[in-house]
Amino acid sequence: MLKKSKLAIVLAAVGALVATTVPASHAATNKQLEIFTWWASGGEAAGLAGMTTEFTKQNPNTPFINAAVAGAAGVNAKGVLVSRMGAGNPPDTFQAHAGAELSTYVKAGQVEDLTFLYKAEGWDKVFPAGLIKTLTTNGKIYSVPVNIHRANVLWWNPATATKAGVSAAPKTMEEFIADLAKAKKAGIDGIALAGNGDWAIAHLFDVVLLGTMGAAKYDGLWKGTTAWTSPEVAKAISNLSTILSYGNASKSLDWPDAGKLVTGGKALFFIMGDWASSQWQSDGLKLGSDYTWAPAPNSVDKKPVYMWLSDSFTLPKGAVDRDAGIAWLKVCGSLAGQDAFNPKKGSIAVRKDSNPALYDSYLQAAMKEWKVDTLVGSTVHGVNYGNAGMAAYDSAVGKFYTGGGKDKAGLTKALVAAYKANAAS
């Protein structure tokens, strides 16, 4: 892992926090369940509360301890978690993104094989086969996915779009950049930018990469068939630099505050995952009138592309209350648990038998698109890279942003280093 990576910095900062996040008197016992997440506010907390209610209904004698660590889209939580796992003090279950991020814990031998639960609960029949394949390592499955999020979503305020003279969502990167210029001419920031913690800018870059080079070459970046020094990546970096020039002046906003620039009419566009919608709804805003959406612009692919990520839960080796952890996992994979969680979280259920009527119009559309769109994974949210690669990737893009988006050669070099850091981890 790179010494200057975001995760390494967090680890150094939270060493003392580990001892205080879950005091000894509140550590999991045989009579309670300790769950570790980064869901601490807005739609995330509401979704977790929905699933917690379902767990309590089924396990009324098992107290529920939520050891959430807020901030930086999980970067802070992952720092605490890595320290706890290394110290032999695991929670009874913890949140991890499906994909390469999960493999970090699998390679370390820190989580149990859950294949037996898939057969016993029938998940091998109701979860998408492609997702199960992503979760499988050497024939074993190590987590239970609770949702599917879409990362490449373009959000905007209809009233602001009218003011800027934008009548429809841009479909290509070229149209997108042209609309940013229209907003600037109308005295509005073209795009809301969240620089707090690097990850949201790296999320933006992920979407710009996809929209500039297309799904096939984007996937090739993680498989080693597309070079990070290729002309396509260079063009994506150039596009990112241009896009950043149309953003808000403050470079330290957290993503909810950046989102408020759009819903408040101060910025035209926001590229963020669909958890933004649940956050805004928890603030009392209405989908379709206060804000609306479209797939993020893509200049290459003729078929729509869905950049996905999935939150999942694990069974750590050495968990104090293994039975309570298994009981939680059963709720995570159940129809009742997923339908209690996802409509509030702003995500769609993994299960193919989920009830669409429980979901809003955006999520119903996402359910349909998940089944037919071309699928690619989110780098920033754990599908393509493990913890070391993600930390280096986020840090590289964050440094480019805070430096004004001028050092394109430096970003290319840092992205190559991130790829190597991930391969070595």
The residue among 113, 110, 108, 13 whose CA lies nearest residue 69 is 13
Predicted local confidence at residue 76, as pLDDT: 76
**Can you identify the CATH homologous superfamily of domain 6-148+310-353?**
Periplasmic binding protein-like II (3.40.190.10)
CA–CA separation, 172 and 210 (whole Å) = 11
Same fold, 6-148+310-353 and 150-307+381-424: yes
CA–CA separation, 65 and 195 (whole Å) = 31
Predicted local confidence at residue 390, as pLDDT: 94
Could you tell me the two tokens for 152?
Answer: 């490449």
Other Cβ atoms less than 10 A from the Cβ of 352: the count is 11
Tally the C-alpha atoms within 13 A of residue 273's C-alpha that lie toward its C-beta: 29
Which stretches of the chain drop beneath a pLDDT of 70?
Answer: 1-30, 70-75
Predicted local confidence at residue 104, as pLDDT: 82
Predicted local confidence at residue 72, as pLDDT: 54
Predicted local confidence at residue 1, as pLDDT: 35
Compute φ and ψ for 269, nearest 5 degrees. Answer: -120, 160
Q: 390 vs 34, 78, 101, 124, 200, CA distance in Å?
A: 26, 11, 8, 29, 12
Predicted local confidence at residue 67, as pLDDT: 85
Residue in the structure block whose two tokens are 């990520």: 309
Q: Read off the pTM.
A: 0.90
Name the residue ranges covered by the structural domains of the chain.
Answer: 6-148+310-353, 150-307+381-424
What is the dotted CATH code of the domain comprising 150-307+381-424? 3.40.190.10
Could you tell me the two tokens for 424?
Answer: 């070595």
Predicted local confidence at residue 276, as pLDDT: 95
